[in-house]
Amino acid sequence: MALVTGKDLARSYGADDIFSGVTVSIPHRARIAVVGPNGSGKTSLLRMLARLDPPDEGSINAASDLRIGYLAQESTGALDESQTLWTTMLDAFTALREDEAQLAEMAEQIAQNPDDVDLIDRYGAKQHRFEERGGYDYEARIHQVLGGLGFTQEQFHQRLEMLSGGQKTRALLARLLLESPALLLLDEPTNHLDIHAIEWLEKYLSAFDGAVLVVSHDRAFMDGVVNHIWELIFGRLEEYRGNYSHYVQQRDERHERLWKEFQRQQAFIEKERDYIRRNIAGQNTRQAQGRRKRLERFLRDEAIAAPREHGEMHLTIDTDLRSGDEVIRTKGLIVGYDEPLFEVPDLVLRRGACAALIGPNGAGKSTLIKTLLGRLDPLVGQARLGANVHIGYFAQAHEELNPNNTILDEILGASPMTVEEGRTYLGTFLFTGDDSFKQISTLSGGERGRVALAKLALSGANLLLLDEPTNHLDIPSQEILEQVLADYSGTIVLVSHDRYLIRRLATQIWSIPREGGELVVYEGGYDRFVAEQVPASQSDNGTQRKAPTRSQEAASENDRHYLTPYQRRQRLAEVEAHIHKLEVELVDIKGGLQQASEAGDVARVSDLGKAYSETQAALDELMEEWEWLVADV
């Protein structure tokens, strides 16, 4: 039986029909992504299936006692902000912690009545269930999930009201993951995650025991998580098997097949009409009349409409200005505001290159962009632009747009043109009719992004500084932007969490390590960066670094270094020996817990429970290290 089914679902807003006749089913362990243009109703469908909003038409049925976890795009107010991050996570284990308290109470009773065999038996059974449900490792799980989603130890005991809106959304996601509902409904879960956290979430959801339905614009994330795609477009839903890349191939093949079928139909219709025109008044008039009736019946009952195509943004970004060979040069650069964020090695970015700047949220990526723009002074050192460099800047928060202006005002201020020319130009960015007169402050994130791109395309810049350019863009617009930037003849510095975009464009990676310190430059694309990733060693002379051969992690977070193949084999042997030792310790601790429980030794039960949790956490870390070590041996 499916977890949730929806039949003939419809959603309308006023006179506008968003979708209708949508029938879906979510089976156990489903991995489904919902895709479609902005405004196609993806969030509305998700909220219906979460039973938060009723459908305008149709019905929804769910399995009895189904536990659903729902993540909205913005989750401010969904949690008690007077609590700390840690106590909020503990709420996911309320029932387990109640059992823990009951076990402690029963242990005290046993200590007072050591001959109560029935009590001891009940304690043993309850303790066994508690252990099976993860009673001795739930704190380790909290550490794992919060760390995976990018929270630091210092933030664990901060009140939620002290966190940003994006951090609160991440906190809700963390609690949903810890609650382990039977069905997770996630609306843009990667919006507030850096690349490291997105990759962690991919692995977590791949191993998740429940079902997952996700709305996402992150193509790489969908490739890593889902095996079915629901495309919501033109008010209808089409299903595809496979991940995002499989969907694109099948979608294009289906569209081509429909066009060919439509063209064959149009050729048949034209042939029939031509026969009717030539013979309706001649010798074969009866045959022509018969054919006309059959054609009318065919057009009424059988003819297919031309395949519909969604409006696409028509974007061109190019430059006639040729910069010098050296576009950016830094020397002794340290960026930050009052305090340093990180150091930049002496580097040179040459004409035609694309540097992808990546790192944790809050590491200072946007700060470096503003330093390169000259809008923020370096704390130490300098960043210089080369000869004849003209900058085009795309700001993550679109602060380059005046919220009091109309869309047309922004375009006319960017380039000399008439009002009519400006409106025609905006039409290529999907702003039609009176859209041009909308005020910037009223636009959605995706609409503001398209206005910013429209201005950027008019700049004629030969150096683009792009800060999260695909944020809020729907997938068709992302794909267009990706192609346009791939064809761009100038130089690019790109801040992005979009691995599809980075993989397509980057010729080098500028990485800010999670622990801060110094930015590291890796020559080559993103796949090489991932394959070779280990923390950088000391710079030879403070000049630009090139990527050494790297592994995915270092043997220790506190003692990271390069590993030769020989060192890697040695480390693998050490890790395997340590894993074996910890597995033996876990067995011994379990035995000790059983004995302490039977003896009614409350203090020892508590101590051994903590020891079990710590040992299991250490074992989990070693298993992660073992996985990447064994992959490269």
- Looking at residues 496-512, what average pLDDT do you find? 92
> What pLDDT is stored for residue 544 in this prediction?
44
Q: Are residues 90 and 116 in the same domain?
A: yes
Residue 285 domain-assigned (yes or no): no
Task: Give yes or no for a contact between 601 and 103, defined as CB atoms under 8 angstroms apart.
Answer: no
Q: Note the pLDDT tens digit of each residue in 191-206.
A: 889 998 999 999 999 9
Question: What's the predicted TM-score (pTM) here?
Answer: 0.75
Q: How far apart are CA 63 and CA 183, in angstroms?
A: 11
Q: How confident is the model at residue 542 (pLDDT cuts 50, 70, 90)?
A: very low
**Mean pLDDT to the nearest integer, 436-459:** 89
Looking at 265, 280, 308, the residue that finishes a domain is 265
What pLDDT was estimated at residue 567? 55
pLDDT of residue 187: 93
The alpha carbons of the chain give a radius of gyration, in whole angstroms, of 30
Q: Does residue 402 fall inside a structural domain?
A: yes
Could you give the C-alpha distances from 42 to 3, 215, 239, 454, 586, in angstroms and in order? 19, 7, 14, 26, 46
344 with 455, same domain: the answer is yes
Q: How many CB atoms neighbour CB 209 within 10 A?
A: 8
Element (H, E) at 557: none
* Domain co-membership, 448 together with 478: yes
Q: Which domain holds residue 209?
A: 1-67+181-265
The mean-pLDDT minimum among 412-421, 445-454, 483-492, 582-591 falls in 582-591
- Strand boundaries in 512-608, DSSP class E: 517-518, 520-523
Does one domain contain both 118 and 233? no
194 with 46, same domain: the answer is yes
Residue 270 lies in a domain: no
Same domain, 29 and 132: no
Question: Whole-number mean pLDDT of the chain?
Answer: 86
DSSP symbol at 133: T
The torsion of the CA quartet 215, 218, 220, 221, rounded to 10 degrees, works out to -50
Residue 117 within any structural domain of the chain: yes
- Give the CATH number for residue 622: 1.20.58
131 belongs to a structural domain:
yes
Specify whether 175 is located in the same domain as 186: no
pLDDT of the residue at 541 = 40
The CATH number of whichever domain residue 95 belongs to comes to 3.40.50.300
Q: Is the pLDDT of residue 342 over 50?
A: yes
Same domain flag for 512 and 613 = no
**607 and 495 within one domain:** no
Long-range CB pairs of 139-143 (<8 Å, 24+ gap) are 139/613, 140/613, 140/614, 140/616, 140/617, 140/620, 141/178, 142/86, 142/89, 142/90, 142/178, 143/617
Please, what is the Cα angle at 430 between 426 and 434, to 5 degrees? 65
Q: What is the pLDDT of residues 229-243, one digit of tens each?
A: 999 988 999 999 999
Number of domains the chain contains = 4
Most confident of 345-354, 517-526, 529-538, 543-552: 345-354
pLDDT at residue 632, rounded to an integer: 56
Give yes or no: residues 8 and 100 share one domain. no
Last residue of a domain, one of 247, 265, 283: 265
The H-or-E segment that residue 365 falls in is helix 365-373
pLDDT in the model for residue 569: 66
Residues 158, 244 within the same domain:
no
My answer on whether 451 and 526 are in the same domain is: yes
